[in-house]
Amino acid sequence: MATMAEKMAASLEELRKLQEKDRCVVLQGTAEIGRTHLTRLLDNGWLQEA
């Protein structure tokens, strides 16, 4: 089973992939990133809701 740090690293990697495509990423729901990654990034302060 993956540690929390490994899970966070996976979520950050998904965010990095999105940012490579478009530097200013605006996520609208889970179309661009999975619900698990989105929730994890929001809960840990890497993303914020607008």
**Residue 19: domain span:** 4-44
Task: Answer whether 0.85 is exceeded by the pTM.
Answer: no
Domain tally, the chain: 1
Query: Is position 50 within any domain?
Result: no
Terminus-to-terminus CA distance in the chain, angstroms?
33
* Residues with Cβ within 8 Å of residue 30, at least 6 apart in sequence: 38
pLDDT at 5 > cutoff 70? yes
Give a yes or no: residue 19 inside a domain: yes
Q: Is residue 49 part of a domain?
A: no
Of 18, 14, 5, which is closest to residue 44 (Cα–Cα)?
Answer: 5
Q: Does residue 20 sit within a domain?
A: yes
Predicted confidence (pLDDT) at residue 27 exceeds the cutoff of 80: no
